[in-house]
């Protein structure tokens, strides 16, 4: 209701070490691994989405770049403070930069004497920015190639503190639907002089810094919604057992049982997938961008489904504030948007996950297919030469059998599972084989158009994500069986895991069918007609993006009289970056 987390609560989180869980002990933190850290965030997420986001934004992205890429001097100066004293903020998004992280408009320019950088620009959605004592800031810098002398723009990351001249937090927060306890600042940098010693990693490597941090952020978002989903599952199931209608508990009805089973299955699968992925991070796997993106999409989509099912089971009472579920419902919606909108993540999983296959297919096509830009003799000479190359033919023949004769490859070998789960391992192997086969056929059918046909990409990605989830579920259930786990909770988990297998298999088969039979053509026609009509309507009737390249300033003005305002001001006037309760009591503007 007050749209803030009280300062006493933030102070207490620092005191008990929650705000420094992942920071090494030598700098005053707890030195926890990624898995332990996410277990705590899951517990926090069960109670309060806002608090889990604040803790996550501080450690997973706010100061994560410092931990991963900072120099010894930088770590000694800042890590003890972010572990025990003040929050940190991640400054990546801008008014005109959302999912396109590489499109930074903030500039970072090296001074003529080479002693400092000059930062100019504006940042948006910086969680806890108005309460933080340290910012990780990304911006574009002109960098000269050491050999050619040519200059190009690339992203550089620097540490900025709120007491630097030219830093203006002109809006501390905006009133919003969910995670209302969190604050997202708007920050303007005007000729801010940042010492060269504050640069993180190398010049031009800031995008790598940002994407690496987002891997951790996607983990912790997933753990937050998992905690909320588990709590919603248990609350709704208890409600279904104790709420009677037509002289029967709700749990007696088939459609309610469907929701109870789905909630149990999805929470089990999210848990299995998330902690398989945190294990990868704990053992320092070199490239897990696809896995973190997949987990973020799966947890946010399925977590939302669980909480929505819980709301439906509780009915009108679920909608009431006093029963707490409505806050989890509002909080959960943001997870499908932040840390990379799911639409972007589907395309990323497709593009990055399928990169190796695409390169292989392109190589075979270049070597063996007819090229209209060459004359017949050149084509024949190239194809004959390559046909005699064993390395090329070892790839071309299996691919040709699939694309031309539609012969599927052998199923992959899956090992390490509990013997009782062999039928499920066999089904998973078949689905992996089918996914690979139909991915190739879809690529051949759509050719270069697949690069822009996101509906095709999403079906392929969604299948891959469900295969990852099925693998994680198989692994987790195998571990439970080997450990001899018993009791009603395990029986619930086992049934939930097997039910998830059934649902995931249905989803995958539907995705495969939709690669060939779908409503994409009529969808594009309907979208075009709707867009054409909307283009005839006056911009003045609608809210328009503040940085729209075609209609900025022409849209409908937002009504602010009834909305709590969070006006900003220079951090120089706000102390050391940590506000007191009195400082954050913000009255609505007249």
CB-facing half-sphere around the CA of 7: CA atoms within 13 A: 14
Q: Number of helices (H) and strands (E) in the chain: give both, helices first.
A: 17, 11
Cβ neighbours, 10 Å, residue 454: 15
DSSP 71: -
Sign of the dihedral through C-alpha 424, 427, 433, 437? negative
Percent of the chain that is helix, strand, coil (3-state, to 5): 60, 10, 30
What residues have CB less than 8 Å from 81, skipping those under 6 apart? Answer: 133, 134
- Of the listed 42, 122, 326, 339, which one is catalytic? 339
| Residues 18 and 78: beta-carbon distance below 8 Å | no
Residues 531, 452: Cα–Cα separation, whole Å: 18
DSSP 455: H
Distances in Å between the Cα of 237 and the Cα atoms of 49, 270, 502 are 21, 18, 21
Q: How far is CA 348 from the centre of its chain?
A: 11
Q: Single out the residue of 387, 410, 386 nearest to residue 398, CA to CA.
A: 410
Residues 361, 436: Cα–Cα separation, whole Å: 13
Backbone phi, then psi, for 4, in 5-degree steps?
-165, 160
Q: How far is CA 251 from the centre of its chain?
A: 34
Q: Which residues pair with 421 in a beta bridge?
A: none
Q: Using H for helix, E for strand and C for coil, what is the string for 463-531?
A: HHHHHHHHHHHHHHHHHHHHCCCCCHHHHHHHHHHHHHHHHHHHHHHHHHHHCCCCCHHHHHHHHHHHH
| Residues 219 and 34: beta-carbon distance below 8 Å | yes
Q: Which residues pair with 137 in a beta bridge?
A: 91, 158
Q: How far is CA 414 from the centre of its chain?
A: 28
Q: Single out the residue of 156, 162, 160 nearest to residue 195, CA to CA.
A: 160
Cβ neighbours, 10 Å, residue 453: 14
What residues have CB less than 8 Å from 243, skipping those under 6 apart? Answer: 249, 250
H/E stretch holding 87? strand 87-91
Provide the 3-class DSSP secondary structure of residue 324: coil
| Residues 246 and 274: beta-carbon distance below 8 Å | no
26 tagged catalytic: no
Q: Write out the catalytic residue numbers.
A: 339
């Amino acid at each position: 209701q007050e749209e803030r987390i009280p300062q006493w609560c933030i102070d207490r989180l620092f005191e008990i070490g929650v705000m420094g869980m992942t920071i090494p002990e030598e700098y005053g933190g707890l030195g926890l691994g990624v898995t332990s850290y996410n277990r705590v965030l899951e517990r926090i997420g069960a109670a309060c989405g806002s608090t889990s986001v604040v803790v996550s934004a501080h450690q997973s992205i706010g100061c994560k770049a410092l931990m991963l890429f900072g120099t010894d001097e930088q770590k000694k100066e800042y890590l003890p403070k972010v572990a025990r004293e003040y929050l940190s903020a991640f400054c990546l998004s801008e008014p005109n930069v959302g999912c396109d992280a590489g499109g930074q408009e903030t500039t970072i320019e090296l001074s003529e004497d080479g002693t400092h950088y000059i930062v100019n620009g504006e940042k948006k959605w910086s969680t806890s920015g108005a309460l933080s004592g340290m910012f990780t800031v990304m911006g574009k810098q002109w960098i000269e190639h050491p050999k050619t002398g040519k200059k190009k723009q690339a992203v550089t990351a620097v540490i900025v503190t709120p007491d630097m001249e030219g830093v203006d937090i002109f809006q501390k927060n905006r009133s919003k639907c969910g995670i209302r306890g969190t604050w997202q600042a708007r920050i303007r940098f005007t000729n801010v002089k940042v010492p060269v010693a504050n640069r993180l990693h190398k010049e031009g490597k800031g995008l790598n810094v940002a994407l690496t941090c987002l891997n951790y952020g996607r983990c912790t978002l997933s753990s937050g919604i998992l905690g909320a989903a588990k709590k919603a599952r248990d609350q709704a199931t208890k409600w279904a057992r104790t709420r009677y209608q037509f002289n029967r508990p709700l749990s007696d009805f088939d459609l309610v049982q469907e929701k109870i089973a789905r909630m149990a299955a999805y929470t089990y699968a999210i848990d299995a997938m998330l902690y398989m992925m945190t294990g990868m991070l704990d053992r320092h796997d070199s490239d897990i961008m696809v896995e973190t993106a997949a987990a973020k999409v799966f947890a946010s989509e399925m977590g939302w489904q669980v909480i929505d099912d819980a709301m439906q089971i509780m009915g009108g009472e679920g909608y009431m504030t006093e029963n707490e579920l409505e806050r989890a419902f509002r909080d959960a919606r943001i997870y499908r948007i932040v840390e990379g909108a799911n639409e972007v993540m589907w395309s990323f999983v497709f593009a990055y996950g399928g990169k190796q296959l695409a390169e292989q297919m392109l190589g075979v096509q270049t070597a063996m297919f007819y090229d209209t830009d060459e004359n017949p003799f050149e084509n024949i000479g190239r194809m004959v030469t390559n046909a005699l190359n064993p390395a090329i033919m070892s790839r071309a023949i299996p691919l040709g059998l699939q694309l031309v004769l539609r012969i599927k490859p052998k199923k992959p070998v899956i090992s390490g599972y509990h013997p009782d789960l062999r039928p499920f391992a066999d089904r998973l192997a078949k689905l992996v084989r089918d996914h690979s086969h139909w991915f190739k056929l879809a690529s051949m059918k759509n050719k270069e158009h697949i690069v822009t046909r996101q509906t095709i990409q999403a079906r392929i990605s969604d299948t891959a994500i469900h295969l990852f989830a099925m693998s994680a579920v198989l692994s987790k259930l195998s571990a439970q069986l080997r450990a001899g786990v018993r009791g009603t909770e395990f029986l619930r988990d086992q049934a939930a895991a097997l039910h998830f297998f059934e649902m995931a298999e249905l989803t995958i088969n539907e995705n495969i069918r939709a690669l060939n039979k779908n409503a994409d053509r009529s969808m594009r026609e309907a979208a075009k007609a709707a867009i054409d009509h909307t283009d005839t309507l006056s911009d003045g009737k609608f809210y328009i993006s503040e940085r729209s390249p075609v209609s900025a300033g022409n849209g409908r003005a937002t009504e602010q009289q009834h909305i709590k305002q969070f006006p900003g001001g220079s951090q120089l006037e706000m102390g050391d970056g940590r506000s007191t309760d009195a400082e954050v009591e913000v009255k609505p503007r007249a």
